[in-house]
Amino acid sequence: MATIKDVARMAGVSPSTVSRVIANSHLISFETKKRVKKAMKKLNYVPNAIARSLARKFTSTIAVAVTTENRVENLHSVTNIVNGLEQAAQARNFNLLLTLSRSEEEGREKCLRLIQERRVDGLILLSSIHNPILINQLMEERVPFVLIGGNDQHSVPSVNHDHRWAAQTATKHLYDQGYREIMLLCSNREIDQQKGVLNGYRQYVHDDRIIESSYAPDQLYSILKQAWQHKQFDAVLMTNPFLLLSLLHFAEMHQRSIPSDLGILSLYDSPLLHLSQPSITSFSLQSIEMGKQAMNLLLDSIESPTETNSIDIRLKSELILRTSTLRQAMA
């Protein structure tokens, strides 16, 4: 029976290179993969996944940690991210272990237990608010992991949307449509996480009009009303589509026509925005691609730890133009 050394000898490579080809590593060239696979076929070599896992002390399993603190409005994005994670993991012969937690503390305990018991090879941390204690522990223990989402405090592998670029592009679009008094509307929890949004917004807006609010419709409407009385605005850039209903109610009560009197743009897309009357301009996030890149980044870091130590990937989203900001088209 042929061994991995026989394949390596026939292909003219090292046994470790054969292992990487079997794992479908992105670090191996197409020509080398082709040569190794040809040798495997000629020798009738079939990798034994269980034996390989035991020999290399790999489980071929990646844990994806999600907390239920991810709010309902994020569920569509989370589902697409996990879809992308699964696609990339399967392509490289890895499995996913999804772990759900009700709090950051519970999530930290579950992740550390999985690592200590050697049940997984690495972690994907998917949460609206990352656990700094867990991150520091993982860094100290040199555990392979990748963050999905905000990463302003740690130099670690991460994948995120380019919030600064999106906010800058959104604000420029509003300016191009003739809006000048642009307000940034954030939830209480998002404002500290999205420094990139603030930086992008301030590229065009020098007189900040930033409102923080909860998602409670009555409270948000009251805050919008107070802001209007203090200083009127002609456009709103919102960080979450679930703020829309209060905005539409405000526009109706103050007889503001959309988009001629008031422009509305969301940094995140949702079916709610497409079906709304009028339809709302927004950004289409690459959530599936985010999952794929995060998984490949993690698997690369497992295979070559020093080469992906602090990579930070920022994905640009697509601006989808809809009625709510097309003021010039109506002129």
| Domains, the chain, with CATH or none | 4-47 (1.10.260.40), 59-161+287-316 (3.40.50.2300), 163-285+319-330 (3.40.50.2300)
What's the average model confidence in pLDDT over 32-47?
Answer: 87
Give pLDDT, residue 269.
87
Cα–Cα dist 262/234, whole Å: 5
In the chain, count H helices and then E strands. 14, 12
Give pLDDT, residue 278.
94
What's the average model confidence in pLDDT over 28-33?
Answer: 90
Length of the chain: 331
Name the CA dihedral angle for 321, 325, 330, 331, rounded to a multiple of 10 degrees: -120
Tell me how far apart the 2 most distant CA atoms of the chain are, in Å: 82
User: Could you give the C-alpha distances from 182 to 33, 34, 179, in angstroms and in order?
Assistant: 53, 55, 7
Please check the confidence at residue 55 and state whether its pLDDT lies above 60.
Answer: no
More confident residue, 123 or 109: 123
For residues 312 and 151, the answer to whether their CB atoms sit within 8 Å is yes
**Which of 72-81, 137-146, 203-212, 245-254 tops mean pLDDT?**
245-254
Please check the confidence at residue 304 and state whether its pLDDT lies above 50.
Answer: yes
Give pLDDT, residue 54.
44
Cα–Cα dist 133/116, whole Å: 16
Tens of pLDDT, residue by residue over 200-231, are 998 888 877 888 766 666 778 888 888 888 88
Give pLDDT, residue 127.
64
* β pairing state of 158-161 and 312-315: parallel
DSSP conformation class of 124? E
Tens of pLDDT, residue by residue over 159-208, are 988 989 999 999 999 999 999 999 998 865 554 457 788 889 988 888 77
Tokens representing 246 are: 């209060």
Share of the chain above pLDDT 90, in %: 40
pTM, rounded to two decimals: 0.74
Tokens representing 55 are: 């020999």
Tens of pLDDT, residue by residue over 259-287, are 999 999 999 888 889 889 999 999 998 89
Mean pLDDT for the chain?
84
For residues 243 and 185, the answer to whether their CB atoms sit within 8 Å is yes
3-state helix, strand, coil in the chain (%, to 5): 50, 15, 35
